Amino acid sequence: MLGKILLTLAVIAIAYVYIRQQQIADSRESNQSANKTRSAEKDELSRDIRVGAYLLLILMTGIGAALFYFDWQDDHQVLTVNLHRESQNEPVSYRVYKYQLQDRSFTTIDGIQITVAGSERMEIIGLEE
């Protein structure tokens, strides 16, 4: 009689373990499908963030390049500098890049360094404010 009870308990235990394994496998499958859905949502979100980051990078690079170009273009604007001297009736004219122009000196397009004396008057033509 004890053998029959132990055999019955063994069958019940095996059935319990088998059913429990099936439930775990089913829950894993449902979790995996849910995880796949969550994973797909995370992948899509990651892709969207990555695309947004690349677009921001392209936008910032484009704006930086445009600002650099416009600054370069403004610096390489050619100005005419007229120096009026007391001893001469006609002013002396020089062509100068804007970035080469300083307070009391400038470098011409030809590379000549000019320093303006205190008695000379400097007139800049082509400088827009």
Give the predicted TM-score (pTM) of the model: 0.57
Residues 6+ away with beta carbon under 8 Å from 3: none
| Residue 14 · residue 8 · CB < 8 Å | no
Q: Closest Cα to residue 101, out of 121, 85, 117, 77? A: 77
Query: Which secondary structure element, helix H or strand E, spans residue 98, and what is its range?
Result: strand 92-101
pLDDT beyond 90 at 28: no
- Predicted local distance difference test score (pLDDT) of residue 73: 94
The string of pLDDT tens digits covering residues 65-93 is 999 999 999 999 999 999 998 888 899 99
> Taking the domains of the chain in order of start, what are their residue ranges?
1-74, 76-125
pLDDT beyond 60 at 1: no
pLDDT beyond 90 at 5: no
Dihedral pair phi/psi, residue 33, rounded to 5°: -65, -40
Which residue did the predictor score with more confidence, 29 or 63? 63
